[in-house]
């Protein structure tokens, strides 16, 4: 698999093209962006079906997975978005559907704002942007704990806490083990820059204006109606939709992959229409 040099940072990605591309929005190149302390393997349940339909570019964000990192490297969503933007330019991709999870959704927003028109539709899976301001204190405590010895284990416990009772045991074990062995300095710095760095989208009300600048239709998936309503209210493009995945943890695309794929394909097949109200996926 190839690597790309983004201003001195080694970025891992895969780039797969189907034998017979689908038509319409289902055939537009797709970019997959993972969340904090994860990598492009998070999309393993989606890769076969998406790669069979369209050119699919799955990226390990800077400092994550097989991509490079160094102490002192900035990890803000804007920094990661510039990496992805440079990669797409090098690959000749002018327009793409961007599917992102968690912190990757913050990168997707910054990517769209970097180059209007490049992101033609966006999918946000349990996005980490626009969280209540009251979460700030908890983040500061977590960031402090991550910087100490055993920070990788603390990150694993955090991942375990955002699974749901119905999360399949194998997935829950995978999530809890993901950060183990990672350098605590990277764990801490990456989260700190995402939450408190320049151009952060993590907490309200600072996130609100940037989210309203999005012009591509957004399909967002959430665990609660409140989060779905917030996202839809800050997704001004016609055709935006917010779905609630009841009973899921933080990785609904892994917990209910068939449902996710059905919702994704149905939405991409639709012509752009007036925005709809938040609804519960069935």
Find residue 33's DSSP bridge partners: 59, 100
DSSP-based three-state secondary structure for 208:
helix
Structure pTM? Answer: 0.95
Whether residue 196 lies inside any domain: the answer is no
User: Residue 121 domain-assigned?
Assistant: yes
280 pLDDT tier (thresholds 50, 70, 90): very low
Q: Residue 208 maps to which CATH number?
A: 3.40.50.1820
Picking from 140, 106, 112, the residue whose alpha carbon sits closest to that of residue 126 is 106
Q: Is residue 108 part of a domain?
A: yes
Number of domains in the chain: 1
Whether residue 158 is contained in a domain is answered as no
Give the pLDDT band (50/70/90) at residue 198.
Answer: confident
pLDDT tens-digit map of 102-138: 999 999 999 999 988 999 999 999 999 999 999 999 9
- Give the pLDDT score at 279: 52
Give the integer Cα–Cα distance in Å for 172 and 14.
26
Secondary structure letter of residue 250 according to DSSP: S
In a domain, 177, yes or no: no
Neighbouring CB atoms inside 10 A of 93's CB total 18
pLDDT-derived band at 172 (thresholds 50, 70, 90) equals very high
Range of the domain at 78: 3-132+201-280
Give the strands of the sheet with 96-101, arranged side by side: 3-6, 9-16, 56-59, 30-33, 96-101, 119-125, 218-222, 241-244, 279-280
CA–CA dist 242, 267 (Å, integer): 11
Residue 56 burial by CB count (10 A; 0-12/13-18/19+): exposed, middle or buried?
A: buried
* Residue 190 belongs to some domain of the structure: no
């Amino acid at each position: 698999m190839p690597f790309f040099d983004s201003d001195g940072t080694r970025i891992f990605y895969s780039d797969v093209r189907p034998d017979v591309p689908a038509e319409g929005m289902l055939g537009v190149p797709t970019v997959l962006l993972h969340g904090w302390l994860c990598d492009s393997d998070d999309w393993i349940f989606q890769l076969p079906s998406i790669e069979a339909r369209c050119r699919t570019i799955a990226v390990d964000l800077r400092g994550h997975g097989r991509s490079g990192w160094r102490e002192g490297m900035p990890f803000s969503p804007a920094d990661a978005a510039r990496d992805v933007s440079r990669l797409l330019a090098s690959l000749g991709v002018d327009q793409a559907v961007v599917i992102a999870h968690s912190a990757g959704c913050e990168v997707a927003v910054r990517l769209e704002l970097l180059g209007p028109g490049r992101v033609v539709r966006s999918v946000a899976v349990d996005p980490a942007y626009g969280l209540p301001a009251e979460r700030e204190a908890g983040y500061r405590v977590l960031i402090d704990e991550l910087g100490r010895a055993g920070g990788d284990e603390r990150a694993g416990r955090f991942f375990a806490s955002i699974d749901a009772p119905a999360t399949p045991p194998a997935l829950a074990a995978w999530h809890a083990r993901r950060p183990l062995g990672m350098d605590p300095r990277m764990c801490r710095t990456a989260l700190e820059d995402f939450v408190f760095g320049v151009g952060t989208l993590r907490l309200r009300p600072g996130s609100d204006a940037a989210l309203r600048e999005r012009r591509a239709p957004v399909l967002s998936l959430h665990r609660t109606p409140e989060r779905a309503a917030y996202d839809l209210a800050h997704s001004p493009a016609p055709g935006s939709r917010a779905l609630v995945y009841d009973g899921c943890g933080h990785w609904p695309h892994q917990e209910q992959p068939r449902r996710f794929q059905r919702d994704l394909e149905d939405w991409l097949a639709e012509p752009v229409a007036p925005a709809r109200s938040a609804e519960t996926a069935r």
